[in-house]
Amino acid sequence: MKRLVKRLWQFALAALLAAGTVGCTTITPVYGAGIASDGRIELTGESSATFLFGLLPLGDGDWSVATAAANGGIKRVATVDTKTFNVLGIIVTHTTIVTGDDGAAVQSGGAPSAPRANVMLELAAIDSFQQYTDDISIVNLTHEKKLSIKVSTRTSEEENWTKYGEVRFSNINSSMDLNGSTRKFKSAKQVLLTSSSETPFTVQAIVYDDDLWLYLFPANENPAIDNAVDATSVSGVFKDNVRIVNQTSDADFFVDVYARKTEADAWSQIGVVFVQGKGDGSTVRAVNDNASAWRYFAAVPQTGKQYVYSAEKNHNDLVITMQDK
């Protein structure tokens, strides 16, 4: 049987080469549930399978509605369309396209409510957004090690949200590229980031090296900062990273790191680290990977305790050490 399929495939390939890339695509509406436009994120999922002579499956394709819905994270199906690409009856690809939503309850304004936290960005408000021409990278600097972020866009406030892509994190201080059309993303007016967690978060959007970077932080609106390190008052050279070293009796906790350029500026979170036992040190992955652009730094441990801080410069890094009082 395998030999027969191989010979048929060789014949089909020869026929295709002789005929050129002649084909046609047909899209057929199958089902429409008429889900109300209630502000939920509109999702799209696809599944496909390819057949030789329309009968013999090539590969492990699956063009079922269930698979398409699962691929798009869809819980409530709104519409189902099928698309058939046919090349001379030799190669036939069937694709199922499903739209719908995730079934989550919504708040007024069109954003999903708890248990999923979300942040909406106005793209026009991002500095130098038009200079973004390459990749979109999302950096997880929250306290959630396992986290999924769905990204949706719309071109006007009257439109439903359309899923653009999704990234999944397995740790903090990690980044993931968001695959998709740059042109499509730049044509949008707003972007919605929806978390798999109910914990609120904030987003800092920065364009550099032609890429758009979206940094996710915990939503700490009023951090309790009782310490500050002036990098210029510490002897040595600082031009690389900030490191946080734990010399306390506590273990396994997050430390949010804030910075500002002058004493008159507000504190901005630039990173987060997770420290383990005594003596453990972690490098802060700063926004723009340019920690030395700031002058003042503050470490805010998430233990609810106060510590004593000291600083030194070592191998071009600024090292901030926490100790018990």
Burial (0-12, 13-18, 19+ Cβ within 10 Å), 240: middle
Q: For domain 118-218, which CATH number applies: 1.20.120, 1.10.1760, 2.60.40, 1.20.1070?
A: 2.60.40
Is pLDDT above 60 for 318? yes
What is the dotted CATH code of the domain comprising 229-324? Answer: 2.60.40
Determine the pLDDT at residue 7. 55
Residue from 199, 180, 91 nearest 191 by CA: 180
What residues are paired with 162 via a beta bridge? 42, 153
Domains 118-218 and 229-324 share a fold: yes
Specify whether the CB–CB gap between 43 and 73 falls below 8 A: yes
Q: What are the tens digits of pLDDT across the range 148-200?
A: 999 989 888 888 888 888 999 999 988 999 888 888 888 999 999 988 888 88
Of 40-49, 110-119, 189-198, 263-272, the least confident: 110-119
Domain ranges of the chain: 2-101, 118-218, 229-324
| 253-260 vs 190-195, strand pairing mode | unpaired
Of 9-13, 229-233, 278-282, the least confident: 9-13
- Rounded Cα distance between 303 and 306, Å, is 8
pTM: 0.62
DSSP code at position 118: E
